Amino acid sequence: MTKILAYRFSAFGDVAMTVPVFREFLEQNPNVQIVMVSRKMYGDLFEGIPNLVFHGIKLDDYKGVLGMRKLSKELIKAYHPNFVADLHNVIRAKILDKIFKRKGYKVFKLDKGKEEKEKLTDIWNLDKKPLRRTVERYADVFREMGFAVTLSYQLPQNNLQKSGIGFAPFAQHKGKMLPLEKSFEIARILSKHHKLYFFGGGKSETEILESWQNQILNTENLAGKLTLKEELQKISQLETMISMDSANMHLASLVGTRCVSIWASTHPFAGFLGYGQHEEDTVQVKDLTCRPCSVFGDKECYRGDYACLEEIEVQKVIDKVCKK
């Protein structure tokens, strides 16, 4: 059996996007095994995939060049891979790449399309075109090894009785997060006809969502109360998930749940739409020529007014969620 050693250490959503690629690649190449190296906390994302071994690590145990050298020795001793797939292509991964190459391994790395993304996020570029999807970029790494893989872009099917709506109103950066007063209003309106479940993480988010639960009937705050495995299970039981351009959109994709996603300074054109999700389920202000100004939502608004967020109408989100 051919053994591929793959690694990607962050971010959570980007690691989650490797899962459908691995699943379909391994279905189409049953004589291949993938060993995925990532943060230990991400292990539940990869559970149940045949021919996939998850190797979880704590990055603090492998700092700097010496740490990467230590990690490479451990991985070689444990797995003896035929190929190495760098699905991250950042400094830490590049150090690993060089170490593996010096030891005679064939290393294939992710093409992030950096120049294309810089052009896409140039606010003076009025000719915006969709870029290659990130999942295809992951698949390209295996194609360069000589393997065939065709991505279906289908959500996994489950036979669960689905009910309720999930709402994850937070994102890591301001440019990706709807103003909280709008999210509160969305929750208030939807809760009149649907049971609503709040998702989030961290102390401040949990406190805000606890407050919302106390103010809005027919809602339940799950932030800080579930393991990743339990969160995935709960999302799999929902009719619909509402998420910013954030990890929760990708979690919904992994468990076969439709996601209405909200995009502001970022844009699906950059290639990060959830696997199997549909662009008609996105909410965005389409007539702003400055969008997208950022791939990750971490840039300050050059206009200063965050029109890409402020002009999103609450009713538009409601309509997307409730469409038949």
- Consecutive 10-residue averages of pLDDT for the chain (324 residues): 97 97 98 98 97 98 96 98 98 97 97 97 94 98 98 92 96 95 98 97 95 98 97 98 97 98 97 97 94 95 95 97 83
Alpha helices by DSSP H, the chain: 12-16, 18-28, 64-79, 91-102, 114-120, 134-144, 180-190, 203-215, 228-236, 247-254, 307-310, 314-322
Q: How far is CA 37 from the centre of its chain?
A: 17
Q: What fold is seen in the domain 2-144? A: Rossmann fold (3.40.50)
* Helix or strand (DSSP H, E) at 146: none
pLDDT at 159: 81
Q: What is the pLDDT of residue 158?
A: 82
- 223: nearest Cα among 236, 215, 212: 212
Output the pLDDT for position 160: 84
Q: Are strands 165-168 and 258-262 parallel, antiparallel or unpaired?
A: unpaired
- Dist. CA 253–CA 235, nearest whole Å: 10
Position 72 scores a pLDDT of 98
Best CATH choice for the domain 165-322 from the list 2.60.120.1600, 3.40.190.10, 3.40.50.2000, 1.20.1440.230: 3.40.50.2000
Kindly tell me the burial class for residue 202, based on how many C-beta atoms sit within 10 Å of its own C-beta (0-12, 13-18, 19 or more): exposed
Distance of alpha carbon 298 from alpha carbon 175, whole angstroms: 6
Closest among 297, 274, 241 to 17, alpha carbons compared: 274
CATH 3.40.50.2000 maps onto the chain at 2-144, 165-322
**How far apart are the C-alpha atoms of 306 and 264, rounded to whole Å?**
8
Q: What is the rounded CA–CA span in Å between residue 137 and residue 270?
A: 12
Placement of tokens 């309106």 in the chain:
189
Alpha-carbon gap, residue 263 to 265, rounded angstroms: 7
